[in-house]
Chains A and B, each alone.
Chain A
Amino acid sequence: MARTVRIEPVTRIEGHAKVSIYLDDAGEVSEARMHVVEFRAFEKFCIGRPFYEMPGITNRICGICPTSHALASVKAGDAIMGVAIPPVAEKLRRIFNWAQYVQSHALSFFHLSAPDLLLGFDHDPATRNVMGLIQKYPDVARKGVRLRGIGQEILRILADKSIHQAWAVPGGVRHPLTAEKRDAITALLPEAFASIGLALELLKKCFAQFAADVEIYDFPSLFAGLVTAEGGLEQYNGLLRFCASDGTPVEPGIVNERYRDYIDEASENWSYLKFPYFKAHGPYNRAEYAGMYRVGPLGRLNVCDFAGTPKADQELAEFRRLGNGRTVTSSFHYHYARLIEILFSLEKIEQTLREEDILDDWVRAEAGVNRLHGVGMVEAPRGTLIHDYRVDRNGLITDVNLIVSTGHNNLAMNRTITNIARKYVHGDVLTEGMLNRVEHGIRVYDPCLSCSTHALGRMPLAIRLISADGRVLHELSRN
């Protein structure tokens, strides 16, 4: 008899979600679905506000990556003002973004995923968390917590607060960097480099142990992310590139304002999270994952031709050997890609702080409304983030479209958990470790469901087992 398994709530992710695993008549998994169960309506209530207030409003979507929302928003604001911001303001915004990468990626790796990787998927759930990690690997846990702290400290030094800063504004940033602040940030970097070195070493040691999982997470898809004009790794301001599974560019460099020509969004009645897909590979068809693409650390490392900093390029070469030499198609390696991006961010912060003009005090361009439409696209730690605003001639918002990183990965997350469920869930006997493997299939993408639905609350996940006739046979949840 056909059945469904439900995981509810999914844990160690940001936001609320539940998973339904549908069994066929033979008791085998036919499909797994991730339901995002939050709703917030930012796109609605921002209408009527001045565009220069939008960074302050939209960065409240999330407490993990407010910096990314603020930057996408101020870039949309720059476009509405029609200004090129002062060069130093752009450098400072970039440091701001890299610091955000350090803290967010460190959170994902050390706090949320390291318990699975270092303690094991079947470890006692009571201690399979950051507290368990502290007990068993105190040094690793301490370094992880510190690394995230360093990212947050850099944000605080730059922008006075470690979250929900109001420093980045349309036209630039509110105040320049001082020599004292620059030196304070520089002094934090050696410890951060040492910690990321340790994390990379630890993760690489795990690969052999998870060889079977790496295979389950492997499937073909498009990849997407920003690249520099030269094709390098880019997180703040670049062209949007789509490449095929083997790395062949499908769209080598899309100008940000034209994203709607390439991306469309579909909806399903069982999730508040929309399903973006690559239009040219459409129409949308979830069963066949038509137009599916992956963003985030894996997407960015797959679309770029090179990283652009010595240590990160060295790691990137090693990373690519895990795949076909150009792309890596197993989502399991999001973890590795994430750590490489921390390394890249630290190197870029170090380089940029050494630039001669970094203390220049011309950091804000002034202008009114010069265009009625502005698109701000940045790479948030979780993937490409798009803020698209329309305003009237007085600068009041008339339309908002937010396409958030986690949304891009929606099809891929559903594909991943379906693969995992097919491998580990058989018949009606459920084990906790089995459910945790399904959760990890979501966790590896480091989704932020609060962001993706612009929704309210934290994110526990629930899992349900559902029969072919729609009956809930079994339901498990953790809080």
Chain B
Amino acid sequence: MSVITLTINGIEGSAPVGATLLEACRQNGVELPTLCHLEGLTPVGACRLCLVQVEGARRLLPACVTEAQEGMVVLTHTEKLVKYRKMTLELLLSERNHICSVCVANGACELRALCAELGVDHTRFEYRCPDLPPLDTSHERNGLDHNRCISCTRCIRACDQIEGAHTLDMEGRGIESRIIIDMHQKWVTSETCTKCGKCVNVCPTGTLFWKGSTVAEMQKEVGFLQWIKGGREKKSWSYL
């Protein structure tokens, strides 16, 4: 395998050719916070938490969608980057209704865990309180609560890339972004949904949940992504 070398935070490291900066950092023991990224799904660079500073680049780059290049000099935890990451989390908190104490995903929420890790315990920004669609609990097993959505699109990608159903999608842009089901209909009437539950498991917050879950009862399991993807690559289930 061809390898490139690069410098991360003053320390020389290496990564396979074609690796993203995020992969390069993690392989060299440097952890970067992420919310939209999930191993097994195509990266989209939506959450902007993995922004890094690359020498010679005029702007900050999202590590999850930037290919590592030979000789790159990367800084991952400058004062400015840490400040931006905290601000990003504060902006996420201010956009919708994230009340951990009554949330089904309390204890299993990646947003909350990241806030705790980066020391974000409040938001300086005014709550935006957007006018959101009502909860959709019409599905036999799953519920969708827009109040807790951070528009990471993990559910959309899992539904499309892993399950192949493409039931979920996103409408609108920015603060108007909303998860939709098929062509904007109630979940119960969806003809594409296979009820597989992958979307629920990959959701980093309490937006997608098992119906009937009470406070702090949700457990999310994402290990299946690697298992399915690995099996497909190795053609474990191929009969040809």
Contacts and interface: CB of A to CB of B under 8 A. Distances in A.
B104 interface: yes
A57 B214 contact: no
Nearest to A393: B138
A396 B135 contact: yes
A198 B121 CA distance: 45
A56 B216 CA distance: 9
Interface string A41-79: 000000011101101110010000000000000000000
Contacts of B143: 50
A396 B211 contact: no
A50 B102 contact: no
A166 B214 contact: yes
A164 B138 CA distance: 29
Contact of A166 (B136, B137, B216): B216
A56 B102 contact: yes
A174 B217 contact: yes
B105 to A, nearest CB: 12
In which size bucket is the chain A interface?
10 to 19
Given A60-B101, A394-B138, A396-B135, A50 B211 contact: yes
A57 B102 contact: yes
B212 A52 contact: yes
Nearest to B188: A394
Contacts of B213: 52
A53 B138 contact: no
Interface string A382-413: 00000000000011100000000000000000
Interface in B200-230: 211-217
A50 B215 contact: no
A169 interface: yes
B137 A395 contact: yes
Nearest to A167: B214
B101 A48 contact: no
Question: Interface residues of B toward A: which range?
Answer: 10 to 19
A366 interface: yes
Interface string A217-244: 0000000000000000000000000000
Nearest to A391: B137
A60 B102 CA distance: 8
B184 to A, nearest CB: 17
B134 interface: yes
B137 A394 contact: yes
Contacts of A49: 135
Contacts of B137: 50, 394-396
Interface centre among B101, B136, B213, B215 (most CB of A within 10 A): B215
B165 to A, nearest CB: 22
Contacts of B215: 53, 55-56, 166
Interface of B is mostly: loop
A225 B143 CA distance: 38
B186 to A, nearest CB: 9
A53 B134 contact: no
A17 B215 CA distance: 32
Contacts of A366: 212
Nearest to B186: A394
Nearest to A58: B102
Given A166-B214, A166-B215, A50 B101 contact: no
A169 B102 CA distance: 13
A420 to B, nearest CB: 39
Report which residue of A55, A366, A394 has the largest number of chain B beta carbons within 10 angstroms of its beta carbon: A394
Contact of A396 (B134, B212, B216): B134
Contacts of A53: 102, 104, 214-215
A173 to B, nearest CB: 11
B214 A48 contact: no
A48 B147 CA distance: 11
Interface string B102-140: 101000000000000000000000000000001111100
Interface in A166-222: 166, 169-170, 174
A116 B52 CA distance: 64
Contacts of A394: 136-138
Contacts of A166: 214-217
Contacts of B214: 52-53, 55-56, 166, 169-170, 174
- Chain B CB within 10 A, most for which of A55, A166, A395, A396: A166
A169 B101 CA distance: 16
A164 B100 CA distance: 13
A395 B217 CA distance: 18
Nearest to A164: B101
Contact of B211 (A60, A164, A395): A395
Contacts of A368: 211-212
A48 B143 CA distance: 13
A56 B135 CA distance: 17
Contacts of A170: 212, 214
A166 B137 CA distance: 21
Nearest first, the 3 A-B pairs at minimum CB distance are A56-B215, A166-B215, A394-B137
Interface of B: 101-102, 104, 134-138, 143, 211-217
Given A166-B217, A170-B212, A174-B214, 10 more contacts: A48-B134, A50-B135, A50-B143, A169-B214, A169-B217, A368-B212, A394-B137, A394-B138, A395-B137, A395-B211
18 contacts: A50-B137, A53-B102, A53-B214, A53-B215, A55-B215, A56-B101, A56-B102, A56-B214, A57-B102, A60-B102, A164-B101, A166-B217, A169-B214, A366-B212, A368-B211, A395-B211, A396-B135, A396-B137
